[in-house]
Structure 1
Amino acid sequence: MALALRCARLMDVEAGEVLTDRTVLVEGERIRAVLPGAAPVPEGVEVIDLGEATLSPGLIDLHTHLVGIAACGDPVQEIKQSAARQAFESINHARDTLLAGFTTVRDVGAFRAFVDTALRDAINSGIVIGPRMAVAGAYVTVSTGGGMITGLAHDIELPREFRFGSVRGVDDVRERVRQILHGGADLIKLIGTGAVMAAGTVPGAPELTEAQIRAAVEEAALYGAYVAVHAHGSEGIRMAARAGVRSIEHGCYLDDEGIELMLEHGTYLSADLWWSDWLAEHADAAGFDAESQAKNDHATEAQRQAFTKAVRAGVRIGFGTDAGGFPHGMQARQLTTLCTYGMTPAQALRTATLTSAECMGWEDRVGSITPGKYADLIAVPGTSGDLSAFTDVRFVMKGGQVVKNDLTARG
C-alpha cells in the first residue's frame, strides 16, 4: 500500500535542519521519497495531511527493560510472578512505548532470561504491537552482582532462569555469551560494576575484570554481535572502553581518562539522566529503599557533570533512559534534560534518532527520514524547537502502518 504524508515541518536530523512543507511518500514498509509539499502525489496514493504538525523520525531508546515489573523498587517482586505473567505484562509496556513515539528500542536485559526474545518475536510476527527490538536475553554478571536479585537470604537459591548469565572466570564468560546468543539474543549486556538499585552492591566497584569483558567482546564478535556494559564506576568504564565494548550504560563516575578512552575507541555513552527526576518524586511510593535512594542521590550529580564533559569533548552520545525503572512511555521527557546538561535541541534529537541507530548498527534501516529506510515516523504538534512537544506524540507510523493518528483525517 502506498501513502503520502504531508507536513508543515520535517526534521532532517542528518543536517540538523527543519524543512518546511514536505510530502513523504511511503511504499510498503519503506520510505520511497521526500518531496516538496507542492509536488504532485502519484495517482492512487492515499494522502494523510498532518496539518501544522512536525514530522520526525521515530525515536530510539538504547536502554529499556520492557520485561519485568515497571517502576518497582523491590526486585524480590520479580520472583512473585511467573514468566507467563511477565510476558503478558510486557505487551502493555511495548504498546505504551510505541504509542509514545519510540519505534525502536534496545532492551538491555531482564532478571528472567529470554522473555525479551519472546516479546521481540511476538512483535515481529504481528501478534502484538510494539517497537522494533534488539534484545540482550540475560544479564552477564557475577553471582552476587548488579545483574542478580540481591538481598535474599544466603540459603535461598534462585531458579536457573534468574541466574542464567551468572559467571565466574573468563571461560565462563565465553560460554555464557555463546549460550545467550544461541538463545536468540541480538547483543550482550554485561554488568561491569555494582548497581545503584541492587542491594549490597557498590556502584563504583568493578565486578568483572577487563579480561572477562574482553572475552565477551571477542566471543560476541564471532556472531556479529556487540557488547553493552552497565558501568557506573570510573575504573569499570575505563576497562570496558579498553576492551572494545560498543556502549557504556549510565557512566555516572566517568572521568577525564575514561572520556579520552571512549574517544579513542569510538565508545558510545548511554546515560539515563532523567530517571533521577522521576525518582525524586516517586521513590518512596515505588518502594525504593533508603540504601538505593542514597546511592542514587550520590550518583546523579556526578552523572550529570560527567555527561556535560562528555558532550563538550565530543563523545558519541546515544539516547538511553532505563525505562522500566519508571513507567514505560515517559522516555521523551529526557530530551529536554539533555539540553539542560549541554546539548542543543538539534543535538538531542539526533542523539535520540540517528546516533542511537548508529550505536545499534541499524543506521541503514532507521534513525532518519531517508528513502530506503523503514517508514518509522512520528508527528508532534507545533514547532520542533520545543522538545517538550515530543511528550505529546500525536501520530505514529511503524513500517508504513499507522498505529496512532490523533491529528488528521485521511483523504
Structure 2
Amino acid sequence: MKWTFAALAAFLATTSVQAVTVVTAAHMLDPAKGVTVDNVVVVIGDNGRVQGLVSGTGARPNIPADAKRLDLGDVTILPGLIDMHVHLTGDPTLSGYQGLEYTDNFWTVVGVANAKKTVEAGFTTVRMVGSANYDDVALKQGIDHGYVPGPRIVPATYAIGATGGHCDSTEFPPSINVPQPNIANSPEQFRALVRTLRKYGAEVIKVCMTGGELSKTDSVGAQQISFEEIKAIVDEAHMLGLRVAVHAHGTDGINDALRAGVDTIEHASLADEESFKLAKAHGAWFDMDIYDDDYILSDGAKNGVFAESLAKEKMIGLKQRQTFRAAHAAGVKMLFGTDAGVYPHGDNARQFAKMVEWGMTPVEAIRAATSDAAIALNRVDDVGQITPGHYGDIVAVAGDPTKDVRLLEHPTWVLKGGQVVTGPAR
C-alpha cells in the first residue's frame, strides 16, 4: 500500500529504525503508470523489500537521526532495470576461434566480472539465455549467497537445439568431437532434455529455433526444429512451470514457435504480419536486440567474428530494426533484451535510445525493461516496480529519463535490495 506522510511518520516512530533504510529523492518515475511523482520517500526493510512509499506535497516526516538514510538528492528514481537477454559468461572480444585458448571454467570467471559491470549499470535483474557447464546457475548461487556482486539471475543453463543448428558447434571438422549435452533430434529427446535442464537449475528454457548470425555455417533464417519438436518442448516446460524463450530470426520458425505457444521470441528479425497476429493471439512477447548490430559491424572483425557471421549481420541488422518498428506499431508486446555478451557488458542501456529511434516513446522503452519484463518473467510480485513488497531495486538518474532516455546510460545511484551498489560516495 502507499502510505501518507503521517502514516510513515507513525511507522518510523514505532519501529526499530536500524531495521529499515529510508531513501529520499526529488522525483520518482512509475513506468507502469507512465507518471512521475515528486518528494519521494521509500522505506526498505532489512529483508531488502520495500515496506512503504510516500510522495507528493506536505511536510516530510521526521526521520530519526539514527535511521539508516540515503538522500539521493535532486534525481529521478525508477525501478531497477531488467535485461531479458544476456550472456554474462560471454566476452565479445574473444569471438570466433579465440575462445579455444581458454579452459572451460575460465568463462565462469568472465561471468563474475560481467555480473559486476551489469549491476553497476543499473540492471538489477537479468535473464541469462544460454551458457555452458551450468555456469549461469553457479553465478546465480554465488551472487545470491553474497560471494560476488551482480544482478538477480533467471538462468536457462544450456540453450537447446538440433544437430548442426545454431546451438550446436558447427565450426569444427568431423575429427574433433565436441560434447553437446544440449542437442536433441526428436520430440521425446527434447522432452527429456527439458527435464534435465530443470533438474540442474534452469528457470527458463531457451531454444534455438532457426539459424543465427554468429553461428558459422547455417542460414540465418532457416528453421531447424520442427513444429512437433517445439510443441513438445513448450508442453513439457509449461507443465513444469517454466517459460520458453525461442531464438528465431526466420519467419517460418517464428510462426511455428508462436503456434506452439512459446512465451518470448528472441531477435524476431524476419517476423511478418502473420507473426504479429500470432504473437498477439497467443500473448507472446518479442525481445529484440536492436542495438548490438552497431557494435558487431564496427568491432566484430577485430574481435575474431567469423566472416560468414559478419555477412549475415550485414544482411539482417537493418531488417531487424524495421521489423521492430512494424511490430511495435502493430501492438505486439515488446521487451528489453540486448544480447549482452555479443557486445560489452555494462553498455546495456545504450539500447534504450535505439528503441526510441525505432518507434517507442521513452516511457514505453523503460516499461519494457521494468514492469513489462516482470510480467514476462512471472515475477510481478518482486521486481519491476518500486512498491511495497517488491525488492528495493532502485536506479537514479540526474534528470528526466522520459525526456532524455540516454540518461539511463549513466546512473548516479544503483541500489539492489536496498543496498548501495554504486553512487557518488562509492
With the shorter chain as reference, the TM-score category is over 0.9
Are 2:231 and 2:260, in contact at CA under 8 Å, matched by a contact in 1?
yes
Aligned to 1:404: 422
Aligned to 1:107: 128
1:130-149 to 2 correspondence within 5 Å? 130-149=150-169
CA distance in 2, matches of 1:331, 1:71: 16
Aligned to 1:346: 363
Select 2:202's aligned residue among 167, 185, 201.
185
Mean Cα deviation higher: 83-92 or 321-330: 83-92
Select 2:98's aligned residue among 77, 80, 85.
77
Partner SS, residue 167 of structure 1: coil
1:204 equivalent to 2:221? Answer yes
Are 1:3 and 1:26, in contact at CA under 8 Å, matched by a contact in 2?
yes
Select 2:29's aligned residue among 11, 24, 28.
11
Letter in 2 for 1:16: G
Are 1:366 and 1:373, in contact at CA under 8 Å, matched by a contact in 2?
yes
Aligned to 2:141: 121
1:85-104 to 2 correspondence within 5 Å? 85-104=106-125
Are 1:69 and 1:77, in contact at CA under 8 Å, matched by a contact in 2?
no
Could you tell me how far 1:42 is from its partner in structure 2? 4.5
Residue 6 and residue 235 in structure 1: after superposition, are their counterparts in 2 closer, same or farther (change >3 A)? same
1:55 equivalent to 2:77? Answer yes
1:231-310 to 2 correspondence within 5 Å? 231-310=248-327
CA distance in 1, matches of 2:101, 2:93: 16
Mean Cα deviation higher: 100-109 or 386-395: 386-395
CA distance in 2, matches of 1:299, 1:122: 37
Letter in 2 for 1:303: Q
Letter in 1 for 2:315: H
CA distance in 2, matches of 1:185, 1:336: 32
1:29-68 to 2 correspondence within 5 Å? 29-36=48-55, 38-43=59-64, 44-68=66-90
Are 2:98 and 2:304, in contact at CA under 8 Å, matched by a contact in 1?
no
CA distance in 2, matches of 1:318, 1:268: 7
Partner SS, residue 19 of structure 1: strand
Mean Cα deviation higher: 286-295 or 198-207: 286-295
CA distance in 1, matches of 2:55, 2:137: 41
CA distance in 2, matches of 1:314, 1:45: 46
Give the greater-gyration-radius structure (CA): 2
Select 1:26's aligned residue among 15, 36, 44.
44
1:303-342 to 2 correspondence within 5 Å? 303-342=320-359
Partner SS, residue 331 of structure 1: coil
Mean Cα deviation higher: 242-251 or 392-401: 392-401
CA distance in 2, matches of 1:361, 1:400: 22
Root-mean-square deviation (CA), in Å? 1.4
Mean Cα deviation higher: 388-397 or 42-51: 42-51
Are 1:68 and 1:78, in contact at CA under 8 Å, matched by a contact in 2?
no
CA distance in 1, matches of 2:127, 2:62: 36
Letter in 2 for 1:274: Y
Letter in 2 for 1:155: S
Mean Cα deviation higher: 188-197 or 215-224: 215-224
- Deviations along 1:168-221, whole A, 9 cap, x unmatched? 111110111111111111111000000111011111100001111111111112
Structure 1 unaligned runs (5+)? Answer: none
TM-score, with length taken from structure 2: 0.92
Partner SS, residue 148 of structure 2: coil
Letter in 2 for 1:337: K
CA distance in 2, matches of 1:395, 1:328: 18
CA distance in 1, matches of 2:126, 2:295: 20
CA distance in 2, matches of 1:113, 1:252: 29
1:156-171 to 2 correspondence within 5 Å? 156-158=176-178, 160=179, 163-171=180-188
1:394 equivalent to 2:416? Answer no
Could you tell me how far 1:41 is from its partner in structure 2? 4.6
CA distance in 2, matches of 1:293, 1:70: 13
Letter in 2 for 1:394: T
TM-score, with length taken from structure 1: 0.95
CA distance in 1, matches of 2:342, 2:90: 10
Q: How many residues align?
A: 403
Partner SS, residue 179 of structure 1: helix
Aligned to 1:153: 173
CA distance in 1, matches of 2:114, 2:123: 12
CA distance in 1, matches of 2:93, 2:270: 24
Residue 124 and residue 41 in structure 1: after superposition, are their counterparts in 2 closer, same or farther (change >3 A)? farther
Aligned to 2:231: 214
Q: What fraction of aligned residue pairs are identical, expressed as a percent?
A: 35
- Deviations along 1:126-162, whole A, 9 cap, x unmatched? 111100000111011112111122221121101x3xx
CA distance in 2, matches of 1:78, 1:114: 18
CA distance in 2, matches of 1:375, 1:40: 20
CA distance in 2, matches of 1:45, 1:27: 12
CA distance in 2, matches of 1:122, 1:257: 43
